[in-house]
Amino acid sequence: MINLKGIKKIYATGDIQVAALGGVDLHVGAGEFVAIMGPSGSGKSTMMNILGCLDTPTEGEYYLDGTDVAKASGDDLSVIRNRKIGFVFQGFNLLPRTMAVENVELPMLYAGVGGKERRARAIAALESVGLGERIHHRPKELSGGQQQRVAIARALVTNPSIILADEPTGNLDSRSSEEVMAIFQRLHTLGNTIIIVTHEPDIAEFTERIVRFRDGHIEGDELVKNPRKALGQVVEEEGV
Amino acid sequence: MNFLESIRVSLRALRANKLRSALTMLGIIIGVAAVIAMVGIGNGATASITSQIQGMGSNLLTISPGQSNNGGVNGGAGSSASLTMTDVSKIKIGSAIKAVAPMTSTSGQVVLGSGNTSASINGTTADYQIIKNVTITRGRFITQEDVNSSARVAVLGPNVVENLMGDANADIIGKNIKINNVPFQVIGVTTATGSTGFQSNDDMITAPISTIQARLIGNKTVRSILVSATSEDLMQMAQDEITIALRKAHKIPEGKENDFRVQNQADMLETMQSVTQTMTMLLGGIAGISLLVGGIGIMNIMLVSVTERTREIGIRKAIGAKGRDILLQFLIEAVVLSVLGGGIGIALGYGGASLVGKAFALDTSISLTSVIMAFGFSAAIGIIFGVFPARKAAAMDPIDALRFE
């Protein structure tokens, strides 16, 4: 699924060169639920950008579904992101003044999915995260947890190879956080590959594998023995 | 993403920000409206002047003094007072020439009792009535006898009567008026033509040329000679006859230029039209500049919009929008703004022009060309001034754009 070999990312500021990533090897198989952890400056954000094809490594190979995407650029990266990656961000990043269902339709718009199918799939995705009743709400009219669920619906609506979540609970209270993690866990049981970047150990405990970064290198890579089960009461109450 | 979807996305973005969209359009609306209105008013003025010149008399030829050439110094048109009453008598009425009337004019203070006005005064002969199609409501026009005897008689335009007595229909025939302190007896009042503008008979006093020369001007000059050709086809023949007669009278040797000018109505029309066309172009040009300013306004707002929506651009790119999709979205937004503004501007300009037309009795005509041009121009402005902001948006790096607060 994901295969990284000797990934380096070097930022040049004038004469000084800073290696954000200094040769990272990582393999994530299909259906895994991984947390990437590390303090700020450890290179986990850079890792996230490269995994998400928002950025390309200075050196190294990145095989996503068997194709090397490390050398792709511009519009090719847009296509890869559109087809293979679903993003969930810390700040939700929904389009303001735009209905939930339209936000979820957005990636399919760029994928060239027809209007009717788009709407149907968007509604189905929103229902699967427990927001079937709120498809016409705008982000402002939704709570933080609900907004993040819209973002998750947007990420999974294209059936991506991986769902990448960057601090998905960073802006949420503990209850909403647990709800969101419950959704991720459920998506995982359905066979989705999920990678979460976080600095909160509590959140990482919900996943099955933790990869720790420090100073641009992988410091540790271990399986979580007993992943904590998130309580997704709200979702269940809404009958999903 | 196909083109139709791009349009839908752009329209949604514009609708999400109605006030800004409306204000951005305002620049284009004003620019297009100004172009349409100005060109319409200019065309109306041209039409009005054309009809006024045509209303001055049919088959009219005007002879005016030419240039004086003294020792190689050219004094310019009208610089010599080369026309005299003798010249008038040399132009013979015949198959081509229907009527001949000399003209001299001055202006003066006209007094009747407590009434007081200033008016222009034409000195001419009886034939003037034929040439200019002057009709008389009351009394009579001047006769050859009046001219021969330098009678102090005057025919008044209805506006002059109104200015003197407060009523255009007041009984003024036989009354003595004073023009620059010279007494004249009123013998007739011309019919109101309703025409305005220069040389309208409604505002004039007409008197025998001999009287005007002797009493008011003090010399024997003839400012111009009006000739009426018998038909339009014989205009050229009449013009040739006049030229031959006057060259002979002025003893101009062969090979030397005329010291007079014979102008027909077509020439005058051409001159006046070129003046009004220049005016129209000038007005249109000024309006065009405001259209340009409107276009720059669109660019300005679009640039602000691109910066303000950096995050949106980042989100769109992160989830799969290509540079082309973003470019198209912002370009379409700019074009929609300018074309919509152009449409509203055309409607407003049309309304404005007809309003001005009503207020100033001008027959303003909006030509299809100016509508098409204004519309095409505003669409072009949308594209030209939209490209720069749109390219800026399309070139954004998704990581930076997402991080933008």
pLDDT tens string B91-106 = 888 888 999 999 998 9
How far apart, in whole angstroms, are the C-alpha atoms of residue A131 and residue A135? Answer: 7
**Could you say which of A87, A96, A102 has the minimum Cβ distance to residue B319?**
A87
Q: What pLDDT score was predicted for residue B364? A: 78
**Could you say which of B9, B16, B320 has the minimum Cβ distance to residue A78?**
B320
Residue B56 has pLDDT above 70, yes or no: no
How far apart, in whole angstroms, are the C-alpha atoms of residue B326 and residue B306? Answer: 10
Tell whether A76 lies on the interface with B, counting CB pairs under 8 A. no
Residue B163 has pLDDT above 60, yes or no: yes
Contacts of A109 in chain B (CB under 8 A): 1, 5, 9
Tell whether B314 lies on the interface with A, counting CB pairs under 8 A. yes
Q: Which two tokens stand for residue B251?
A: 């003893």
Q: What pLDDT score was predicted for residue A8? A: 94
Residue B188 has pLDDT above 90, yes or no: yes
**Could you say which of A75, A95, A111 has the minimum Cβ distance to residue B323?**
A75
Q: What pLDDT score was predicted for residue B327? A: 93
Least confident window among A97-106, A134-143, B135-144, B375-384: B375-384
Across the A:B interface, residue pairs with CB atoms under 8 Å apart total: 61
Across chain A, mean pLDDT equals: 91
Nearest C-alpha of chain B: how many angstroms from A215? 21
Q: Which two tokens stand for residue B107?
A: 């202006």
The answer to whether the complex's ipTM is over 0.85 is yes
Neighbour tally for B109: CB within 10 Å = 12
Residue of B nearest to A75 (CA): B322
CA B207 → CA A212, B33, B119, B129, B156, distances in Å?
113, 49, 13, 12, 9
Tell whether A78 lies on the interface with B, counting CB pairs under 8 A. yes
The residue among A78, A140, A156, A166 with the most chain B CBs within 10 A of its CB, best to mutate, is A78
Q: What is the dihedral of CA A205, A161, A170, A104, to 10 degrees?
A: -140
Burial environment of residue A200 by CB neighbours within 10 A (0 to 12, 13 to 18, 19 or more)? middle
- The 3-state DSSP class for residue A94 equals coil
**A93/B9 touch (CB, cutoff 8 Å), yes or no:** no
Quick one: which H or E segment has residue A74? Answer: helix A74-84
Tell whether B317 lies on the interface with A, counting CB pairs under 8 A. yes
Residue type, B77: A
Sequence-separated (6 or more) residues with CB below 8 Å from residue A169: A148, A176, A177, A180, A181, A198, A200, A203
Tell whether A79 lies on the interface with B, counting CB pairs under 8 A. yes
What is the model's pTM? 0.70
- The 3-state DSSP class for residue B63 equals strand
Residue B332 pLDDT level (bands cut at 50, 70, 90): very high
Buried/exposed code over B322-332 (b: 16+ C-beta within 10 A; e: otherwise) = bbebbbbbbbb
- DSSP at A98: S
Tell whether A154 lies on the interface with B, counting CB pairs under 8 A. yes
**A75/B311 touch (CB, cutoff 8 Å), yes or no:** no
How far apart, in whole angstroms, are the C-alpha atoms of residue B85 and residue B81? Answer: 12
Residue A235 has pLDDT above 60, yes or no: no
Residue A125 pLDDT level (bands cut at 50, 70, 90): very high
**A110/B324 touch (CB, cutoff 8 Å), yes or no:** no
The 8 Å CB, 24+ separation contacts for B255-260 are B257/B66, B257/B67, B257/B69, B258/B66, B259/B65, B259/B66, B259/B67, B259/B68, B259/B69, B259/B80, B259/B82, B260/B63, B260/B64, B260/B65, B260/B66, B260/B82, B260/B83
Q: What is the pLDDT of residues B279-299, one digit of tens each?
A: 888 888 888 888 888 888 888
Contacts of B321 in chain A (CB under 8 A): 78, 110
For residue B256, report the phi and psi dihedrals to the nearest 5 degrees: -95, 155
Query: What is B45-56 written as a DSSP string?
Result: HHHHHHHHHHTT
Q: What pLDDT score was predicted for residue B72? A: 54
Tell whether B324 lies on the interface with A, counting CB pairs under 8 A. yes
- The 3-state DSSP class for residue A197 equals strand
Residue B328 pLDDT level (bands cut at 50, 70, 90): very high
Q: Which two tokens stand for residue B218?
A: 């003090």
Residues linked to residue B117 through DSSP beta bridges, in sequence order: B110
Q: What pLDDT score was predicted for residue A127? A: 94
